[in-house]
Amino acid sequence: MTSSKPVNRALAVSTRVKIALAVRSDLEVWQKLNVAAFLPSGFGTADPSLTGDAYADGDGCSYPPMLAHPVRVFTGDSSAPAGASNEHSTEVSS
């Protein structure tokens, strides 16, 4: 017998995916927030497997899929992002 429950794709996505942002600490607070909000929005469009399912709230308002993984935000001086290790990162290709 098959279940009629929808599968939550967000839970099925690999837990090995890690998303990290390196943001310069000398930016104004609003700039840091803008970077942290804007950059991850492109990840799901580049690789749809990073997003969960679209959903609706109790009032029936629908929302598009969001990232299915937490985003960690790190700050440092202006040289920190350039010196961040890419040893374990992979580039998303379409």
As a whole number of angstroms, the distance between CA 61 and CA 55 comes to 8
| pLDDT at residue number 29 | 93
Q: Is the pTM of this model over 0.85?
A: no
Can you tell me whether residue 93 is helix, strand or coil? coil
Q: Which of 47, 45, 40, 53 is nearest to 12 (CA)?
A: 53
Read off the DSSP letter of residue 50. Answer: G
**Residue 14 C-beta-side C-alpha neighbours within 13 Å:** 7
Whether 24 contacts 59, CB under 8 Å: no
The answer to whether residue 2 scores a pLDDT higher than 60 is no
**45-94 pLDDT, tens digit each:** 788 888 888 889 999 999 988 888 888 888 888 776 565 655 445 444 43
